[in-house]
Chains A and B, each alone.
Chain A
């Protein structure tokens, strides 16, 4: 069964609105989760590292005020795309690497379309 669950799997929103994506670790407590973005026909790019109980760490070039990350519990991280624009349309994927594991588990992804 799934180790990491993302919701929703697909979302369409209007330009200027905000969208929240949830990432749940079902089998592990996760002090750290990771958010990736994948544009069509491109690779996954790390956006940010979500840290439970503290601020997220963003990769260079990722706007922290636009992509709000909250990691309030050991099993849930949320990514909110604020004031979405069509160029934010992408596939967003989260991952969890349990402590002591070398393997990361990925969510099934969220397809965001901004119209």
Chain B
């Protein structure tokens, strides 16, 4: 079974501050882990993914995430928040079947 838990349904940061969105996963098989961003009434845009190899993954728009197997975590970070980062963020886990299981999402607000 696979599942994802996102801690914090709402996160607010000041513009220029560090962004940290938390994600923990549960998987009975080696997981593929993803972060997606969603803007209102739009589909999902892939930020980054971890499949194998280097545990620190860099994505688009300055985001990165680190896969920590010992902590079953895949937290998303960005050193300096920008106003355009305000959106809904979803962590997801997938396995070999192609089905995705999403966390409940974290709404990021950036305060000017």
Contact = CB atoms under 8 A, between A and B. Distances in A.
Given A43-B105, A44-B90, A104 B43 contact: no
A49 B94 CA distance: 14
Contacts of A93: 43-44
A46 B99 CA distance: 8
A109 B36 CA distance: 14
**Most chain B beta carbons < 10 A, residue from A34, A97, A102, A109:** A102
Nearest to B34: A103
B70 interface: no
Contacts of B51: 102
A57 to B, nearest CB: 9
B43 A107 contact: yes
Contact of B46 (A34, A42, A44, A103): A103
A108 interface: yes
A111 B41 contact: yes
B97 to A, nearest CB: 8
A66 B28 CA distance: 32
Contacts of A103: 34, 46, 49
Nearest to A97: B98
Contact of B49 (A36, A42, A102, A108): A102
A106 B105 contact: no
A43 B23 CA distance: 14
Nearest to A2: B43
Given A102-B51, A102-B94, A109 B101 contact: no
Interface in B36-88: 36, 41-44, 46, 49, 51
A108 B100 contact: no
Interface string A26-55: 000000101010000011111001000000
A-B pairs with lowest CB-CB distance, top 8: A97-B98, A108-B43, A102-B51, A106-B44, A43-B104, A44-B102, A43-B102, A109-B43
Given A36-B100, A36-B102, 15 more contacts: A34-B98, A42-B105, A43-B102, A43-B104, A44-B90, A44-B102, A46-B100, A93-B43, A93-B44, A102-B49, A102-B51, A103-B34, A106-B43, A109-B42, A111-B41
